[in-house]
Structure 1
C-alpha cells in the first residue's frame, strides 16, 4: 500500500514547483537599452498590463486640493496655486518624490526651471545619480540629456524624455531657487521586475541606442518604427464617399494587426476641409463586435482639428498636402472591419491605404485599440467636481495612450489653467495630478506658438482666440489600469462663455470589453458649434 505521507509530499512538491515555475515566467528583466527601445515601441502598448504595473506623477500641484475620506467630499478641488507644491521640507530642501521601485522616470517637465539644484537619489545611495541645476535637465548641456527629440523646449515648456530607471527606490529633492512648476512622470513595475540603476555614464551600446531613437524621432516620423514586417500586406483603395452613405473599406480576416492607416486627400478636391473632415468619420469593429471600438471624425483621428493642419508625431500625423498617417498597432483575433461614413452633404474623394501583418505575440496577451471622439460625455456628478472634464472614462483592463483636444474659444484670453487628473482603478484621489492644461500638453504660460514633437503637439492656435488643437501621446508613460480609468482635465470656463472642448481619446482595452462611447450624431454636434479658422 502506498504511503499517504509520501503522496502528500509529492503533491506539496508539485505545487511548490508549479508556483516557482510560474514566478520565473512572470519575472521580467529590462536592460537600459530595452527601456530606450520603449521610446519608439507602439506594438508594446497593446500588451496586457501586469498586475502591479502603474504610471503616476509627482508634481507641484496645489496641496490645498484634497479628498476628505470622512465626508466623501472633494475640498478646494479648483485650487490653482500649482507652481510650488511639494511633500515636505527636509534639511532645508524640498522633497518632491519618494518612490518605491522598481520603476522608471519617463518624463520631466517644467515651465520655469531655475539654477537651484535638483537631485535624484536612487536605490538607497547617499550619492545622487543626478545632481544638476534644474535648468540643466533641459538645456542639452549635460549627458545624457542632450538628444533634441527627447530634450526640448516646446512653446516655453521644458521637456526631458530620457529614461531614468531604478530598482529599489527613488527620492527627488530640490534646493531653493529651483524655479516654478514641475512634473516627474514615472512607471512602477511588479516587485519581481529587474531594472538597472541609472547612471549618467552610459556605455557605448546605450549611447548608440539613444542616438538611434533620437534619429527616428527627429527625422523619420510617419514611418513604422518596426520597419517592414514579415507577412505584411497592403490594401489601397481610391474612393468617392457619397453623402449620407457608409462605405466598407476592408474586412481583414485572420489573427493579424493593422500596423498603418494612411489617407490621402486633395485639399482642392474636397468640400471645405474645416467642416468636411468632421463630417467624414472612420469606424473600426474588431472580431464581429456590435459596437465599434474606433469611431472618430477623420481629421481628429489623425490628431488635429478642425481642417488640414501640420502635425508630426509618433503615432499620428498630417501635412498641408492632405497626407495623413496612423501608426497605432491594432491587433485582432479573427476579423477587422473598417468603414468610412460621410455624414456631410457633398461627396468626399480620398485614397486610403491599410497595412496589416501577422501578430508577433500570442493574441490572448494583446488588447484591442480604441479611439473615440466626444463632447461633454460622462461629466462628474459630484458638485464639487464641477471643474473636472473627462477625456476618457471606461471600465475594464487597458492602457490610456493619449488624447487630442480641440478647444473653441472665440473670445480669446487663456482657455486652460486646468490640471489633468487621472483616477485609476477606483482611486478617490488621482495618482496623476497636474498643474495646468498647457503643462499637460508639454508647453507653458499659454504660449500659442505651434510646435511638433513625437509625444506632444500644438497644431492650430489662432492666438488662443478661436480654434486651438493640442495633443499628448503617452507612449512610454502610458497609464495601465486593471479595473477602470477616468482621465480628466480641468475646464474653468463654461460652454456658454463660450469655451467648448471636444476630445478624441486613444487607448487599449482587453478583448470583448466594450467602451461606453457611441457615435456622435447628428453631424451638427460635430461641426456646428465652432467658426471656421481664419486661415492665411
Structure 2
C-alpha cells in the first residue's frame, strides 16, 4: 500500500512539472525513478546525460582506425591529485547542476576507497570502500546497489548543485604503463541547465528519506504493482496463419499502460522471433519488433523481469512501457514465419492528457550477419532524427565458439557530437556485468536472461533499460556498439531499441522481414574436457556457506572438467562452505579434488563428514591453473556425505579475494 501511495504522489509531481518550483533533490529523483509517466514526457527540467569511463584514451577519432578500437579500457582517469598524503585518481569531474544516476565498476582487487566531492567542498560527501559503495550496502542495498555476474552497480541518485568530483585511491595503487592494476568504471550523470535549483546530496540524505528509499526498492522489484487501477482492457485471441496479422485498435486520447502477449506454436523459439509486434500511434508507425526481442527474452522463452518488462515460464510476455497517443493507437501481431501461431494479446489503456511534452513510444529492431566479428567495427543500434529520449535496448546474438564475444564498447553520439559523450569499456560492462561471465541474472535495470553455454557459446540475450539514466536528444542520436570477438568467427547480431520521441521523429535502420532468422551452431563439445567418474563441482549441492558467496563459473581457461567450476569468493578466514556429495556404494575410497589456483585464490582446510580437518592447502599461484589434491582415504557409507571447506590465512602474496574453486571431486576405491 505504501509503494502505491508513493507512486501516486510521484505522478502528480511529474504531471505538474512545467509549473513546479521545487528543486531537484534526492527524494524527487527517487520518485522520478519509478514514475513511468514522466518517462513519456519531455524532461522538465531539461537535462543532458553523459558518461565518464575508463575507456582507452588512445581512441581519439574514427578517422584514426589504428586506435579507434583500442581495447585497454581500464585504469584511465581524468588525472591524479595529492590529497592529505594520498594519491587520488579522478574518475569524474563535472560542473553542475547535475546528478550521478548510475555507477558501475569492477576491478581485479576489490579494495580501495571511492570519494565523492560535491560543490567544491574539501571533504567528500561520500567516502566508502569501493566494494561497499558500488554493489554493497554503504548507502543502500539491492536492487539499487548490487553485484550481478561480477559487475558492481549503484543506481542511487546523487544530486549536486555546482560540481561533482569522484576519486579512487588505494595504497600502492600503481598505474603502470600496461595498467596492471585493473580498474574499470562507468559513471552516468545528468547535467541540468544553469540556474536549475538542485539540492546537493549530503551524508544524511539517505537516512532522511529512508522510508521513501524502502518503498522505491520494493516497487522496483514488483513492476506490476505500479500499473494504475481502473484501466480498460481489450483482448484478442486467435489463430494467425503465416502472413496474417491480428489487430487491436483503441481511440484516444489515452495511453497503453500494460501490454501482454502469449504465443503457442509447434516451434516456439521460432515463433518468438518470427511473430512481430507492431504498433502505430496517431498514424505514425512506431513499433516493429519480434515478440521475444521486444520483451527482452530474445529467442525463446527466458523468464526474467525488470522495471519495464516481465517474462514468465508460462509464456506470458508483459510490457509496462507507457505508450501515449492523442487520437488513436493500433497494436498488431504479424506472423512473418511459415508456421501457424496461436496468439493472445491484451492491451490495458487509460486516460492521458496529451500536451506539448507528450512523446510517442518507439521500438526498433534489426538483425545482421553472420558478421565477421574479428574485424573490429562499429555496428549501429539506432540512428534517430528528431527529439526524444533513448531508454534502452536488448542485444541477442549466437556465438559459434566458447570464447568471449563482447570486447566492443558502446559509443553514443547526441545532437551531432563528433566524439561520443558515452564511450564504454566493454559490451558486458554496458549491460552491468563483468569479466565475460555467462551467468543468467535479472534486476530492475539490466539482465542476462539467456546464456546458453557451455562457457560463452550459443544464444546470448543481454538487456538494459533506463530509468534516471535515459539519454535525451534534441535533434539526433546515434548509438553504435563495437563488434569485437576474441576469436576469428562470424556472429549474427540482433538488437531491439526502446525510445520515446515527439511526433515526426524518424529512425534507421528500417525493419526487414527477411532478417527474422533464428541462427544456431553445433556445440563445440570437443573443447570440453571430461574426467571419467568426476563429481563435478558445479553439480555439488551447497548446504551452507557462512560468508562470501558462491556461484558456478564457466570460462575457457583453465580447461575445467565439464567446462565449469563451483566458485566461492570473498569469505573471511574461518568461514565455512559445506557441500554434499553422494556415494553410490559403501566402501573405502581415496578422495581427490581438482582445484583452481590463481593469484587471487586463498587457502583452506578440508574435512569429510565429522572427520578431522586437513592441513591448510594453499591455492595461490602466479598463473591461472588447476591442481589435483589428495584429500585422504575415507570409509564411506552409501548415500550423502559432507565436505566442509574452511578458509585459512591466505598466502601473503595473494590478492584479497580468498577465492576457492572446485573443479571436481573423485572417489577411487582404496585397499581396505
TM-score (norm 2): 0.69
Q: Deviations over 1:130-157 (max 9, x none)?
A: 1112122135342x22x21111111111
Asked if the contact 1:28–1:193 (Cα under 8 Å) also holds between the matched residues in 2, the reply is: no
Match of 1:80 among 54, 65, 71: 71
Does residue 186 of structure 1 match 2:189? yes
Does residue 137 of structure 1 match 2:133? yes
Match of 1:472 among 456, 464, 479: 464
Asked if the contact 1:396–1:482 (Cα under 8 Å) also holds between the matched residues in 2, the reply is: yes
Name the counterpart of 1:9: none
Asked if the contact 2:382–2:509 (Cα under 8 Å) also holds between the matched residues in 1, the reply is: no
Q: Deviations over 1:230-256 (max 9, x none)?
A: xx21112222112211122x1111211
Asked if the contact 2:145–2:153 (Cα under 8 Å) also holds between the matched residues in 1, the reply is: yes
Match of 1:520 among 497, 512, 522: 512
Which structure has the highest strand share of the two? 2
After the TM superposition, which residues 433-448 of structure 1 pair with which residues of structure 2 at under 5 Å, given as runs?
A: 433-448=423-438
Name the counterpart of 1:215: 218
SS of residue in 2 equivalent to 1:418: coil
Distance 1:63 1:517, change over 3 A: closer
Distance 1:240 1:495 in 2: 44
After the TM superposition, which residues 490-505 of structure 1 pair with which residues of structure 2 at under 5 Å, given as runs?
A: 490-493=482-485, 497-505=489-497
Distance 2:276 2:488 in 1: 27
User: 1:496 Cα deviation (Å)?
Assistant: 8.5
Asked if the contact 1:114–1:179 (Cα under 8 Å) also holds between the matched residues in 2, the reply is: no
SS of residue in 2 equivalent to 1:208: helix
Distance 1:226 1:371, change over 3 A: same
Distance 1:154 1:393, change over 3 A: same
Distance 2:20 2:29 in 1: 18
Does residue 124 of structure 1 match 2:120? yes
Match of 1:296 among 271, 289, 295: 289
Name the counterpart of 1:262: 260
User: 1:450 Cα deviation (Å)?
Assistant: 0.3
Name the counterpart of 1:94: 89
Asked if the contact 1:405–1:501 (Cα under 8 Å) also holds between the matched residues in 2, the reply is: yes
Distance 2:206 2:462 in 1: 37
Distance 2:183 2:487 in 1: 31
Distance 1:126 1:78, change over 3 A: same
Asked if the contact 2:382–2:508 (Cα under 8 Å) also holds between the matched residues in 1, the reply is: no
Match of 2:351 among 358, 364, 367: 358
User: 1:224 Cα deviation (Å)?
Assistant: 4.8
Does residue 283 of structure 1 match 2:274? no
After the TM superposition, which residues 194-233 of structure 1 pair with which residues of structure 2 at under 5 Å, given as runs?
A: 194-202=197-205, 206-218=209-221, 220-221=222-223, 223-228=224-229, 232-233=231-232
User: 1:203 Cα deviation (Å)?
Assistant: 6.3
Q: Deviations over 1:440-463 (max 9, x none)?
A: 000000000100101000011122
Name the counterpart of 1:11: none
Asked if the contact 2:452–2:459 (Cα under 8 Å) also holds between the matched residues in 1, the reply is: yes
Does residue 169 of structure 1 match 2:163? yes
Distance 2:501 2:517 in 1: 29
Q: Deviations over 1:64-92 (max 9, x none)?
A: 11138xxx656611111111110112223
Name the counterpart of 1:419: 409
Distance 1:389 1:163, change over 3 A: same
Asked if the contact 1:398–1:509 (Cα under 8 Å) also holds between the matched residues in 2, the reply is: yes
Asked if the contact 1:255–1:363 (Cα under 8 Å) also holds between the matched residues in 2, the reply is: no
Name the counterpart of 2:239: 240
User: 1:32 Cα deviation (Å)?
Assistant: 2.1
Runs (5+) with no aligned partner, structure 1? 1-23, 380-384
Distance 1:110 1:90, change over 3 A: same
Q: Deviations over 1:360-410 (max 9, x none)?
A: x44321111110110249x9xxxxx95211111111111110000001111
The worse-fitting range, judged by mean Cα deviation, of 126-135 and 173-182 is 173-182
Q: Deviations over 1:437-490 (max 9, x none)?
A: 000000000000100101000011122101100101111100011111111111
Distance 1:417 1:93, change over 3 A: same
Higher relative contact order (CA 8 A, sep 6+): 1
Asked if the contact 1:408–1:498 (Cα under 8 Å) also holds between the matched residues in 2, the reply is: no
Distance 1:283 1:370, change over 3 A: same
Distance 1:488 1:254, change over 3 A: same
Distance 1:442 1:528, change over 3 A: closer
SS of residue in 1 equivalent to 2:444: coil
Name the counterpart of 1:64: 58
Distance 1:457 1:432 in 2: 20
Distance 1:141 1:505, change over 3 A: closer
Name the counterpart of 1:489: 481
TM-score (norm 1): 0.86
Distance 1:44 1:236, change over 3 A: same
Number of residue pairs aligned between Structure 1 and Structure 2: 488
Asked if the contact 1:423–1:485 (Cα under 8 Å) also holds between the matched residues in 2, the reply is: yes
For the pair shown, the structure with the greater C-alpha radius of gyration is 2
After the TM superposition, which residues 326-475 of structure 1 pair with which residues of structure 2 at under 5 Å, given as runs?
A: 326-359=319-352, 361-376=353-368, 387-463=377-453, 464-475=456-467
Does residue 320 of structure 1 match 2:320? no
Distance 1:414 1:453, change over 3 A: same
